[in-house]
Structure 1
Amino acid sequence: MWHLDEMFMSLRGEQYMRWRAVDEHGTELDVLLQKRRDKAAAKRFFRHVLRLAPVPRKIVTDPLSSYPAAKAEIPELAGVKHVFVKAAARVNNRAENSHQSTRRRERAMSRFGDPVRTQAFLSSFGPIRQQIALPRHCMMAQSHRAALKARLSAWYRWTVIETEECAY
């Protein structure tokens, strides 16, 4: 199941749409930054997500008319059930809440600037954050610290190996 959502961002005074796909477990599938919110933009986003993730059983979106119009033109999504939810109903919270970590990062960085660099950052930030972030509400403090230490040490080993390979 995919939860799809879009959000307005202002980069250098221009409005951009950040399209985002999240699976049923809250794992970010893809992020795409575009200037438009029309059928062509939604179709491009669907194709972008389909390159990275398998075809879902169900798609959950807000009632933006671009989604069904674009979905109808993509053959892989012809048999996929499409569920519309109202923004006020909070049924699509999986996608809505996934914006929070990016908003925090945006504030810490004093806003994003360049659209190309923002797209590159958002594409890499989600998977890295998911590797390190843990479900704290499900863990005791001691086990949380141990799991975080293990994940961070694996991350450091991986990044050191990658940087050493690139140095040669």
Structure 2
Amino acid sequence: MSKPISYKRHRFPPEIIAHAVWLYLRFPLSLRLVEEMLLERGILVSYETVRRWALKFGPAYTHRLRRKAPSRHDIWHLDEVVITIAGRKYWLWRAVDQDGYVLDEIVQSRRDTKAAKRLLKRLLKKQGCPPRRIITDKLGSYAAARRQVMPEVEHGSHKGLNNRAENSHLPFRRRERARQGFRSAGGLQRFVNVFSAVRNLFVPPHSHRSARATHLHRLNAMAEWKVAANVAA
């Protein structure tokens, strides 16, 4: 793990900072709602301070979180969703595995073969190995990109098969509404990098959804979060 997080020159204790960042990233809350929730606990901090904490410490925390080990037996579900920023359309390309774990996301101004190819190349580099299969919708750019980047990998393209990727957009859409949109493509990219890493940590895999398994998963996730934030007891 990388070097511990430093909280020097911050007047609030690390536990409060880490808790505020967790609230903002984990739940579809606006900054003002996080401010109100902290106030209820006797912590007087402005929403603008919470915003600065999230920008500074969010990437640092998530950089220290463990990633799921890749496997050649994985199935990648790929999809893209349109985001309008300052009147201009962008596409957030996302890849999740068979458990709903977000593998990668990339904001692009195009929705064509070049953009799909860039996503696949990033995935191969990050995962280190190709999947057993990829599943997409009927967008022809995926098939063209797959033939160029990973021709040996099986490809299924049917809207009904790709619910895993389509459902992965829903938490982001809720957060987008709470934030009232994004100001820039770069800001969107920075946010989804952190947001998805936190969601990966706290949301249990689809194969472990019993009440006991979910409870244990969340306890372990919170313990890992505290270690990453350097506030572990």
Native 8 Å contact 2:78 2:96 kept in 1: yes
- Give per-residue Cα distances to partners, 1:85-109, cap 9 Å, x unaligned: 0x3xx32110010001111111111
Instruction: Give the residue type in structure 1 aligned to 2:154.
Output: K
Deviates more, 1:39-48 or 1:143-152: 143-152
**Separation of aligned partners in 1, 2:106 and 2:148:** 19
1:130 paired residue number: 200
| Residue 64 of structure 1 pairs with residue 126 of structure 2 | no
Deviates more, 1:18-27 or 1:146-155: 146-155
- Of residues 130, 153, 163, the one that matches 1:80 is 153
The ranges of structure 1 where at least 4 consecutive aligned residues each deviate by more than 2 angstroms after the TM superposition are 133-140, 142-151
- Of residues 11, 34, 42, the one that matches 2:108 is 34
**Separation of aligned partners in 2, 1:39 and 1:9:** 19
**Separation of aligned partners in 2, 1:7 and 1:116:** 16
**Separation of aligned partners in 1, 2:170 and 2:109:** 21
Distance verdict in 2 for CA 1:135–1:40, change over 3 Å:
closer
| Residue 98 of structure 1 pairs with residue 98 of structure 2 | no
Distance verdict in 2 for CA 1:23–1:147, change over 3 Å:
closer
TM-score by length of 1: 0.83
1:1-168 correspondence runs (5 A): 1-53=75-127, 54-74=129-149, 77-85=150-158, 87=159, 90-134=160-204, 138-140=209-211, 144-145=214-215, 147-160=217-230
Distance verdict in 2 for CA 1:3–1:150, change over 3 Å:
closer
Instruction: Give the residue type in structure 2 aligned to 1:67.
Output: Y
**Separation of aligned partners in 1, 2:172 and 2:165:** 12
**Separation of aligned partners in 2, 1:23 and 1:33:** 19
Instruction: Give the residue type in structure 1 aligned to 2:209.
Output: C
- Structure 2 unaligned spans of 5+: 1-74
User: Secondary structure, in 3 states, of the residue corresponding to 1:92?
Assistant: helix
Native 8 Å contact 2:202 2:217 kept in 1: no
Deviates more, 1:47-56 or 1:126-135: 126-135
Distance verdict in 2 for CA 1:146–1:95, change over 3 Å:
closer
| Structure with greater Cα Rg | 2
Aligned residues: 155
Q: Which has the higher strand share?
A: 1
TM-score by length of 2: 0.61
Instruction: Give the residue type in structure 1 aligned to 2:141.
Output: S
- Give per-residue Cα distances to partners, 1:9-33, cap 9 Å, x unaligned: 1111110011111111111110011
RCO greater where, 1 or 2, for CA within 8 Å and sep 6 or more? Answer: 2
Q: Over aligned residues, Cα RMSD in angstroms?
A: 2.0
